[in-house]
Each structure stands twice: as C-alpha cells, then as structure tokens.
Structure 1
C-alpha cells in the first residue's frame, strides 16, 4: 500500500508558502512592509560662521633693560622671575665717576655765577659814567656784553650740572615698565656700555595678553564680500581659546584689529586679540587655537550629521520624504559643521522632511514609512505568534 504521508506533508508546506506570499503581497500593497525611517523638518535659522585660527601668544608689553651709561655692574637688585614695578631699581653701576662729574659741574656753575655777578656789577657802575661821558661809550657797551656772556655761561654750566645729575641717576638702572622680569643676562662685575647690543634683562607684561592669529587673505576677502553683499552679517568680536593640550582657556578675549598688509611669503593677514591673564596661564610664545564667530549666516539650515551622506566625488546629498512616501535623493551644499550638525546653505527649502534615521539601505524611489526622528517604535510579537495565541 502506497504511503501518502510525504505527499500530505509537501502539500501542507506549499499551502503555508502560498499563504505567506499572499500576506506579504497584502502588506506591501498596504504599505506596512516598507521600512520605517525617522525624519527632521528643515527650518531656516541664523547660524554663526565659526572660524578657527592658529596663533601665538604675545606679551602685552615687552621692554629690554639696557644701560644708558658705561660702567661696572656693582649689584643686582631684583629676583629673577619676579614681578617688578616701573621705576623699581634693578642694577647698580659704579657711580663714583658720575658723582665726581656732578661735583665738578656744580663747581663750574658756582664759578660762572660769580663771574656773572662781577660783570653785571661792572656794567651797572659804568652806566651813569657813560651818561656823563666820564668814560668812553665803547667801554660801557663792552661791559654790557661781558655781563650777557656771563649770564649765558651760567646757563651753560647749569645744563652741564643737570646732565651730570641725569648720568648719575642712570647709574641706577630702573625698570621701564611693570611686569615679570626674566633671568639676568649679566652678573655683578660685568662691564656694560650704553651702546651694547645685549640687554641686561627682559621685562614682559603678561596681563593682559595678546594672541596673534594668521588668516588667509583669500578667506578674509571672501568674507568681506559676503558681508557687503548681504549674504552674511558681521559676527561677534568675542574670541575663545583652546590651549596646546586641548583644554579650553577660561577667559574670553576680544578681537582688537586686523593688519592692513598681507604677508607676501605666506599670503596671510594678522589678526590680534586681547585676553585677560590674571592667573598667568598664558605665557609668551605659546601656540593656541582661537575660535570666534566671524560672521552670521541668517538663512542656514542645520541637519543632524547622520542625515548627510557623501558621494564618491565628495559632494553631499540627503534623502527626502517625497510624494506618496517615496524616498527622494537630492544634492545639497554642506561645507561646514556647527556642533553636531551640518550647515546646509543650498539645496533645501524650509518645511521639507529630511530622513535622518534608517537611511542605511535607502535608494531613490523606495517606499518608506516616515515618522518624526527619535519617535518610539512599536515592539510586538510577529503575526504568526499572535495568531497562535488567539487560536489557544
């Protein structure tokens, strides 16, 4: 007798397959089998054009301490690396020669004053005699001239005395500015001169501090043209810093000015910003990265980074929720980022729905089930399991 069980089993499998195919076709016709995607709605908003530029810190004021007279250094009067105030004594030069010069000039001035008094007295005595013609008129004229010359000699010797006193004061070398002084480049006993090329020490004022940044002249020109055309508006002058170790500097700075010439070797323009530095974190010569909003784009669109994809040529494109819930591929212009978003300047209109989730296997014209991005998804048992539960 023929065993019919294999035939019955094969028939049952065919029936199940046909039933599943019919269900799948029914789901496709109803749209329930299309992949679910999340979308965001494009909206225009002002977005700052943030610029990051490398730069170097520069002391607010720098002064090289130099001698103004010749002599031997007798003493150093400061502690290396300390803060000094303007006018504070730093070095003492042997002042004996300059003190002697002051004494000599003072004596010459006293002699000139005595001679001037005698000449003036002689002129006074000859004046009435000349009127009575008891002496020759020429003698009186000569006496007046001698008195004037004596007064001029007094002025000359007074100036020589003041010069000697200034040189004596220069024997004590004082700080020209307030700031932090570095190491001493000379020691007591060194011979220094007013014409030497090497400074004795360097003082730098580091609070506040300057940061000099270099920006391409082409970028600066394009930005200015965009501002003039109305495409963007001028941004803020506030600047933030990132230090060499990647940390953020705790104080904001302000852009002071832009240089008026372009460096011919690098094609860049120097921008200078000023930063407070009360804790001395910034030191002259440090490499930093300055970030500031150089302009504001009033009509940009922000998209989450996963929504923007790149072609082989590097151009950007997105998928939109099109008519009848079909995926539409469109090229856009997204040249920069703002935080976690791409800044789109061309290719999108406000109100369009951009797919940002579930775009892994999308293609042009594919059927989709769009929901707002990050919506909660329904999680349930498969249909077969549900039917079995009802049958029980």
Structure 2
C-alpha cells in the first residue's frame, strides 16, 4: 500500500515537472471586430438646449365697464376669431345713461338752434340801429356757447355709446380661448380691470430657450477664425424633441437673439418660430431644441453603436499600436442621423472598434474581420500582432 502511494506521488511530480518544463503559454486568440478609421469631414454644428413653447401673441380679456356678467358666449378651449363676443355684461345701467345723455343732447341742440335764430333776427336790426351793438354781440355769444354745449354733450354721448358697447366683451385677437376666469352673476370692475379670460395665438408658436453668454462668445470666435462656417443672415434651423422623446416633424428657424445678458443667469435669450397647424405644440410644454448653427469643416463623427455611454461619460474602444483593444474616453456633442459628433478624444487616423464589445477588454488582441463604411469616410480594418501570435502557436505545439 505504501509502495502504491509512493508511486502515485512520483507520477504526479513527474507530470508537474513536465508541465513546468514545457514551452511558453499560448497567446490568447484575437477577437474579430469591425473597425472604422477616423477621418476629418464636414459635420453640422449642433447646439442642444432646453426650451419651452410660448404663444406668438397673448391677449388678456379684461372688463372695461363695471357690471354683472350675464352670459359666457364661447366654449372654453375653442378657437375664436378677432371680434367674436365672449361675454355679455348686463347693459341696463349703461343704456339708461346713454338715453339720458341723448336727451341732454337733444335739448342742447334745441337751445343752439334758438340762439342761432336770434342772431339771424338781430343781424338786420343792428344794421338799422334798431338794437344796440351790445345786444347783438350778446346774442352771438349765446349762440356760440349753445353750439359748444352741443359739441360737449355729443362727445359725452359717444363715450356713453362706447361704454354700452363694452358690455359685449369681444376677443381682441384670433386664437384659442382659455377657461373663463369669471362666471355668470359675477361682478366685474372697470376700475380693477377684472381678468375674464385669455386668448392665445398658438399657430405658429415660439420656442424660447437660453444659451450661456460664454458659449455664445465661443461661437462667434469660431465663426471669425474659420473653424465654423455660418454666414451672416443665414437662416438657422431648429428641430425639437418633445417631452415623450418623439421628434417634432416640422423644423423652425431662429427669429430673435437678445442683445443683452441676463444678470442673474448669465445667459442670452433665443427664440425660434415653428408652424403648429395641428396644435401639437402646447403652450408651456418643455422641449429640447437642436440648433443647427452652421457647419464644422474638419469635424469628426462616428457611428452611434461605437460609443458607450455611462454615468462617467462617453468612451470608445480603439485599436492601439500593438493591435490590442484600448478604452478611450471621449467628449460627444449632438447625435445627428445616427452619428455622434466627437468634440474631443479622437484624432484623424485613430481606429475605432464597432462590434463585439461583450468580448472586449482593455489589452485584448483584436483582428478586423471586415471593413465598415461611414458617411464621408471608409473604415479601415487593421491586422494586429495578435494574429501572428495566433498563427505561430500551433507550430510550437507541433514541435513539442
């Protein structure tokens, strides 16, 4: 039994020695991947900013007379046209005031007519010295005073007519009328200018957003040194991503850039106008805007699938000089047509890996299995040293 044990131990030791005296360990096999050789190309300069939808025009419908609201004449949330009646305020008191002023005007007109007739009767008499000049001048003055009184009361009647017309509250602009702020039976006041409703014009609409003043300065500097192509007067296109992640199909254009910097936030306000025929964009809605502000003549863009995004930022796998995979952090800009615009981290000539990421680790040898094409450039596969090592390994095994 002891002899059997000693022989087993000897066999194990001989196997261990044989293993230790063997040749070098084989190199790990190269992982097949698709690659893309980075090259400079013209890429759009896209600026992403948050924004909110705002109406082109907003009209606050307020009471211009004091009275009791009798009726609401529109459907809340419906489209209204300019001049359409929205509310009816009880006109009884203003009608009575109008009638009283009209009666005063009729009386004033009668007085003026009588004074004018007196002047006409006195005119030949004063020429014949039948009456004194003083009496004639007094008659003329009385006639003029009566005419002035008529003019004054006529103005009062016009004002009363306006006030009576204000009892029918009308939409000042065409647009969508919001919910009523008052109900039937409510007292509205001319003095307080009681808010009754709002009318918003939402076709087209504005999208308002803000850009850092420093970024705006950098943009102007890039335009001046030629690293950004944007002509003066060129329409700047803007596209929207809605709150649910969908794309708004119709682009808009920048129509206003403020000339002052907000002292509190250090930003400059920008505004774009968008058509909104289907009323898909709602006032106050949060959106993300992509502003296509010119083009970068020598930019870098790589396919979306090549970029790995996590909490620490973005990164890509590249092929290093030894033919191994290396993880490279990059700074990305906007995603345009399935391509990430790279702002830093890559240079022309770098070889970016596009596939087989689940098997990749930093330092692992890779082998290009196919050439990948990208817009504006052809991907170039590399044949790293790992391939040679893989081919030499069987030869060593055969020698053994």
Query: TM-score, normalising length from structure 1?
Result: 0.75
Unaligned runs of 5+ in 2: 1-14, 373-378, 384-389, 396-400
Q: Which residue of 2 aligns with 1:354?
A: 351
How many angstroms does 1:336 deviate by?
2.9
SS of 2:273 mapped into structure 1: strand
How many angstroms does 1:132 deviate by?
2.8
1:215 aligns with 2:214: no
How many angstroms does 1:321 deviate by?
8.4
Q: Which residue of 2 aligns with 1:178?
A: 174
| Pair 1:55–1:162, CA change in 2 (3 A) | same
Unaligned runs of 5+ in 1: 1-9, 388-392
**Residues 236 and 293 in structure 1, CA contact (< 8 A), matched pair in contact too:** no
| Pair 1:159–1:357, CA change in 2 (3 A) | closer
Q: Which residue of 1 aligns with 2:122?
A: 126
How many angstroms does 1:255 deviate by?
1.3
CA distance in 1, matches of 2:43, 2:293: 11
Q: Which residue of 1 aligns with 2:95?
A: 99
CA RMSD of the aligned region, Å? 4.2
How many angstroms does 1:177 deviate by?
1.6
CA distance in 1, matches of 2:185, 2:315: 72
1:159 aligns with 2:155: yes
| Pair 1:176–1:269, CA change in 2 (3 A) | same
Deviates most, 163-172 or 133-142? 133-142
**Residues 332 and 344 in structure 1, CA contact (< 8 A), matched pair in contact too:** no
Q: How many residues align?
A: 354
| Pair 1:42–1:188, CA change in 2 (3 A) | closer
Q: Which residue of 1 aligns with 2:183?
A: 187
CA distance in 2, matches of 1:229, 1:303: 25
* 1:280-306 residue CA offsets vs partner (Å, 9 max, x unmatched): 222111111111212311122334578
CA distance in 1, matches of 2:79, 2:304: 50
Deviates most, 208-217 or 352-361? 352-361
CA distance in 2, matches of 1:34, 1:188: 82
| Pair 1:302–1:286, CA change in 2 (3 A) | closer
Q: Which residue of 2 aligns with 1:270?
A: 269
1:290 aligns with 2:289: yes
Q: What does residue range 3-82 of structure 1 map to in structure 2 within 5 Å?
A: 40-82=36-78
CA distance in 1, matches of 2:308, 2:185: 73
1:145 aligns with 2:141: yes
1:238 aligns with 2:234: no
